[in-house]
């Protein structure tokens, strides 16, 4: 049940981020950006990545509220079309494209962004750091 609530909060945060540009208010929830000290680093060499590759991240969340849970959101697009997205704990290993996605149907490369976010129990989301990478 807790994971379901967190996933719903992340989806709400993702929707807010996409419309609020990671700043200001979004969808009635507080969505702010604090990218000063927190970090997210891709653990793999991006030149070796392709659809289906496993990726993980090293994160450092600084100054988050005590009631917040940190998550990594990975979104991949082809042009303006979102072809795959997933969110999970910072220690999760992500399979690019997952097991069912538009990306698996279309194949090829994509432009990806990993975002370290903090989500509070009230649904407020804070973007802490981002890492962009290309997948061939």
Per-residue pLDDT tens digits for 53-84: 999 999 999 988 888 999 999 999 999 999 99
Q: Which residue has the higher pLDDT, 13 or 53?
A: 53
Confidence of residue 109 (pLDDT cuts 50, 70, 90): very high
Single pTM value for the model: 0.76
> How high does pLDDT run on average in the chain?
81
- Comparing 104 with 126, the larger pLDDT belongs to 104
Stated as kind and residue range, the H or E segment containing 32 is strand 29-33
Q: In the chain, what are the domain boundaries?
A: 2-135
36 pLDDT band (50/70/90 cuts)? low
CATH of 2-135, one of 2.60.40, 1.10.3470, 2.60.120, 2.130.10: 2.60.40
* 36/130: higher pLDDT: 130
Element (H, E) at 77: strand 68-78
CA 19 centroid distance within chain: 15
State phi, psi for 109 to the nearest 5 degrees.
-90, 175
Judge contact between 98 and 86, C-beta under 8 A.
yes
């Amino acid at each position: 049940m807790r994971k379901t609530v967190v996933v719903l909060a992340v989806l709400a945060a993702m929707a807010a981020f996409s419309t609020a540009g990671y700043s200001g208010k979004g969808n009635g929830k507080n969505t702010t950006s604090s990218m000063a000290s927190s970090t997210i680093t891709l653990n793999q060499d991006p030149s070796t990545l392709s659809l289906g590759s496993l990726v993980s991240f090293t994160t450092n969340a600084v100054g988050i509220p005590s009631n917040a849970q940190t998550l990594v959101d990975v979104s991949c697009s082809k042009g303006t079309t979102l072809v795959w997205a997933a969110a999970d704990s910072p220690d999760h290993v992500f399979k690019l494209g997952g097991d069912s996605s538009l990306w698996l149907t279309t194949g090829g490369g994509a432009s990806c962004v990993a975002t370290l976010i903090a989500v509070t129990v009230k649904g407020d989301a804070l973007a802490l750091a981002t890492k962009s990478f290309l997948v061939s």
